Structure 1
Amino acid sequence: QQMVMSLRVSELQVLLGYAGRNKHGRKHELLTKALHLLKAGCSPAVQMKIKELYRRRFPTKMVSPVDLAVPGVHSASGLPAGLAQLGFDGHGSPSPLLPVSLLGPKHELSLPHLPSALHPVHPDVKLQRLPFYDMLDELIKPTSLASDNNQRFQEACYAFALTPQQVQQISSSMDISGTKCDFAVQVQLRFCLSETSCPQEDHFPPNLCVKVNGKPCNLPGYLPPTKNGVEPKRPSRPINITSLVRLSTTVPNTIVVSWTSEIGRSFSMAVYLVRQQSSAVLLQRLRAKGIRNPDHSRALIKEKLTADPESEIATTSLRVSLLCPLGKMRLTIPCRAITCSHLQCFDATLYIQMNEKKPTWVCPVCDKKAPYEHLIIDGLFMEILNSCSDCDEIQFKEDGSWAPMRSKKDVQEVSASYNGVNSGSSNDNSKKVDVIDLTLDSSSDEELDDEPPPKRACPSLSPVSPSANKGVMNLHSQASPVARVPSMPPVETSYIPPPPPLIQDYRHYYHTTSDLPDLNFFSFLQDCVWCQIPFCQD
């Protein structure tokens, strides 16, 4: 109750919001609601939240080894047992700050003028394990990013030192074959939310800035904002600070962290010594876990294909592809996560290699979380891949059996044309070819049938009466009364309609009048005959 009474408005709002109560109102109203919540019997989680808010409201005062030289504290001999050596804790990491309460009442009273620094609280925070990094040692335990004032921009300093064994591990793993110096054993800095409910993912505080031994540390670049006016954020990933660390057992390393505080959210940081692994090692470890029994997949198939009596739609078969959804290639090591409910597998090699470049660990089939620890190799798909090498898709049946689905490639061969090619390949030029115009539909065919056949040119010219002899050409100089047409390439006779009956030739010869001595109509006659041929009208 005293803790609740000492909370401020912002902390009361956080407490009521955490408990699912109304967090609007004045301070006395919020305080009344919080006290009523406490009297009604709150859950252990709410009680832990009250203690957390109280610790943030009234942090424990700290004293550093340098401050012990003030008047009243002449040496460390008067310190309690176990605190005289300020060098390292059980993990080889230094303890730069000590709680004033551990110095005893005498020292507490003699240090009234010490600056009020915050105690680096070590909450029971655990970070998620990273598949590509094996943790060798814990240099700084998960520590709260606490501040000593109420300002928006906060800053905290931390220190750690390396043991001779750790220095040897880092130095021996150095690789200078590339353009830059890489280390297989790294000093890794991580940030997360101060939540104890489950292992936490990496989460950067807002406006994070890190300096290691006075040198700025490179952080991941900002992600493009999804909306206008939204503050850009960095992708939260582990930070490799090995190149900035002093590989010395005598000189400690300092880390200065600055960030922007948020109401209702607190962050923690930790420093680890890790060994980086490759995708080949992770694939080998996955294989070492063994192949899952095929009966598990068969049971899942039967469960999916079991008819639901309340449903009118029943699934009788399932089609599954043997191609990886990532690389669109045939599966080699089919795997999926235990938490996935689908049968479709993806290739373990491609999946691990993609997450080595950009660790997301999301299933490419259902877009749900598929961490490395949950991956399994499907034994049923391994049997299918080994026994069926010429198909890319299979179909599961209700009893758990499967059948290959052949690809539908309709290769149509016309036997008549095939025989014609074999028997008469030498007579290709003399054979009659039927041409079908596929652009014409049935309606256009009917219209063509209704049209009258085109007119055919008259083979000879004959006058109607003697008075119409003006301008008529005498054709008696030619061997035949039929008009000649220009030479044309041979045309299929099926295109030419049957000719109409020829007009009887009247062999009446009329002499050309003297008023048109130089007029020649033969070229004009050729043009007329040319235009009346059906296949040349265009």
Structure 2
Amino acid sequence: ILPQYLEPRSYTVQYIEKTFPLSRANREMLQKAEYDIQVWCILLDDKVPFRMHWPLHSDMQINGIPVRVVSRQATQPLGANGRDDGLMLTQFLKEGPNKIVLSRSDSRAFCLGVRIAKRRSLEEVLNLVPKEQDGEKFDDALSRVRRCVGGGTEADNADSDSDIEVVADSVSVNLRCPMTGSRIKVAGRFKPCVHMGCFDLEAFVELNQRSRKWQCPICLKNYSLENLIIDPYFNRITSLIKSCGDDISEIDVKPDGSWRAKGGAELKDLMQWHLPDGTLCMSTGTGPKPNMGVVK
């Protein structure tokens, strides 16, 4: 509704005043509990992407009514792990023209806007994540695992699982979610991440409701919801062991991507080596074949 560029200025108070319309159709839409009018603000060239960020000393009025902008102190800068909120304005608005006035004392450049926001349930957000076959090709996921387990160039490994990137017959990989400590049910990841570590998709989205951070819990890089996918390699593995006890949470992985579960005898075939796609490896023994004649 209202994108507005706030020019960089010296540390003097700057005022911006804008009017935006609210139609009858939009007003009727706002009667539904899941809709709201939100004013947002971002810092241009913010070192932390994909977050709201309000100027220092921000004060706002909506149709002449003072509204508190941020919960932090007016003089306190927003840290790297901080997140500001967008303000919900519906209760202050009327059908027709509405006036918003923002004052600030901050020399940086910002962009301010007003939008209609819809609250989404956990299930609705999870449905926005691409299906396993649509998010990433299995071969791409397998290539990442082979690089991380089998080793690679220093440039390739700059942001990957350096603690396991050694050439070895096999390495042990933990399938527990780094946030909950429970075994991963659906293996989630951010597509740009180069490490092979994953997290539990549903647990991550649920915790995000409070943290408001689309931040990888492994490499701590910030992304957006559009980057969230299901890891096709590890999700096949977690699907195969989902009926096992929660204490079964580690696998051995070879440099070619083949794997086996680690645990007791109750795992049966899962303790045998599997091809990357989850099929059981066939024995390659070349010993003498048994006599298949009829036993008399």
How far off is 1:398 after superposition?
A: 1.7
Verify: 1:157 aligned to 2:40, yes or no. no
How far off is 1:200 after superposition?
A: 6.6
| TM-score between the two structures when normalised by the length of structure 2 | 0.72
Name the CA distance, whole Å, in 2 between partners of 1:274 and 1:170.
10
Specify which structure has the bigger relative contact order, considering alpha-carbon pairs within 8 angstroms and separated by 6 or more residues.
2
Deviations 1:125-183 (A, max 9, x none): xxxxxxxxxxxxxx21x213369x98811222211121121111112x13xxxxxxxxx
Name the CA distance, whole Å, in 1 between partners of 2:223 and 2:126.
15
How far off is 1:278 after superposition?
A: 1.9
Question: Out of 83, 89, 112, which is 1:269 matched to?
Answer: 112
Evaluate the alpha carbon distance shift between residue 212 and residue 307 of structure 1 in structure 2; reply closer, same or farther with a 3 A threshold.
closer
The corresponding residue for 2:186 is 333
The corresponding residue for 1:57 is none
Verify: 1:285 aligned to 2:128, yes or no. yes
CA contact (8 A) 1:307 1:315 kept: no
- Secondary structure of the residue aligned to 2:207 is helix
The corresponding residue for 1:294 is 138
The corresponding residue for 2:269 is none
Verify: 1:256 aligned to 2:101, yes or no. yes
The corresponding residue for 1:144 is 5
How far off is 1:211 after superposition?
A: 0.9
The corresponding residue for 1:400 is 257
**Unpaired stretches in structure 1, ≥5 consecutive residues:** 1-138, 175-183, 224-229, 408-538
Name the CA distance, whole Å, in 1 between partners of 2:249 and 2:35.
43
The corresponding residue for 1:191 is 41
Evaluate the alpha carbon distance shift between residue 261 and residue 399 of structure 1 in structure 2; reply closer, same or farther with a 3 A threshold.
closer
- Secondary structure of the residue aligned to 1:365 is coil
Aligned counterparts, 1:57-456, within 5 A: 139-140=1-2, 142-145=3-6, 152-171=12-31, 173-174=32-33, 184-194=34-44, 201-222=51-72, 231-233=75-77, 235-246=83-94, 248-249=95-96, 252-262=97-107, 265-288=108-131, 290=134, 292-306=136-150, 314-388=167-241, 389-390=244-245, 391-406=248-263
CA contact (8 A) 1:318 1:397 kept: yes
| Structure 1 segments (4+ residues) deviating >6 Å | none
Which structure carries more helix by proportion? Answer: 1
- Secondary structure of the residue aligned to 1:277 is coil
How far off is 1:394 after superposition?
A: 0.5
Name the CA distance, whole Å, in 2 between partners of 1:307 and 1:377.
24
Name the CA distance, whole Å, in 1 between partners of 2:20 and 2:152.
62
Evaluate the alpha carbon distance shift between residue 381 and residue 231 of structure 1 in structure 2; reply closer, same or farther with a 3 A threshold.
same
Evaluate the alpha carbon distance shift between residue 342 and residue 266 of structure 1 in structure 2; reply closer, same or farther with a 3 A threshold.
closer
Name the CA distance, whole Å, in 1 between partners of 2:99 and 2:151.
65
How far off is 1:316 after superposition?
A: 3.7
CA contact (8 A) 1:156 1:258 kept: yes
Deviations 1:483-524 (A, max 9, x none): xxxxxxxxxxxxxxxxxxxxxxxxxxxxxxxxxxxxxxxxxx
Which structure carries more strand by proportion? Answer: 2
User: Which residue identity is paired with 1:399?
Assistant: D
Deviations 1:303-346 (A, max 9, x none): 23436699xx6344232212111111121111111121222210
CA contact (8 A) 1:194 1:268 kept: yes
Deviations 1:435-455 (A, max 9, x none): xxxxxxxxxxxxxxxxxxxxx
CA contact (8 A) 2:188 2:229 kept: yes
User: Which residue identity is paired with 2:25?
Assistant: Q
How far off is 1:208 after superposition?
A: 0.2
Evaluate the alpha carbon distance shift between residue 335 and residue 315 of structure 1 in structure 2; reply closer, same or farther with a 3 A threshold.
same
CA contact (8 A) 2:190 2:223 kept: yes
- Secondary structure of the residue aligned to 2:30 is helix
Name the CA distance, whole Å, in 1 between partners of 2:125 and 2:91.
26
The corresponding residue for 2:285 is none
How far off is 1:195 after superposition?
A: 5.7
How far off is 1:370 after superposition?
A: 3.8
CA contact (8 A) 1:153 1:258 kept: yes
Name the CA distance, whole Å, in 2 between partners of 1:299 and 1:194.
36
User: Which residue identity is paired with 1:170?
Assistant: L
How far off is 1:379 after superposition?
A: 1.9
Identity of aligned residues (%): 24
Name the CA distance, whole Å, in 2 between partners of 1:375 and 1:328.
20
Name the CA distance, whole Å, in 2 between partners of 1:153 and 1:146.
12
Evaluate the alpha carbon distance shift between residue 271 and residue 261 of structure 1 in structure 2; reply closer, same or farther with a 3 A threshold.
same
RMSD: 3.0
Aligned length, in residue pairs? 243
CA contact (8 A) 1:320 1:343 kept: no
How far off is 1:296 after superposition?
A: 2.6
Larger radius of gyration: 1
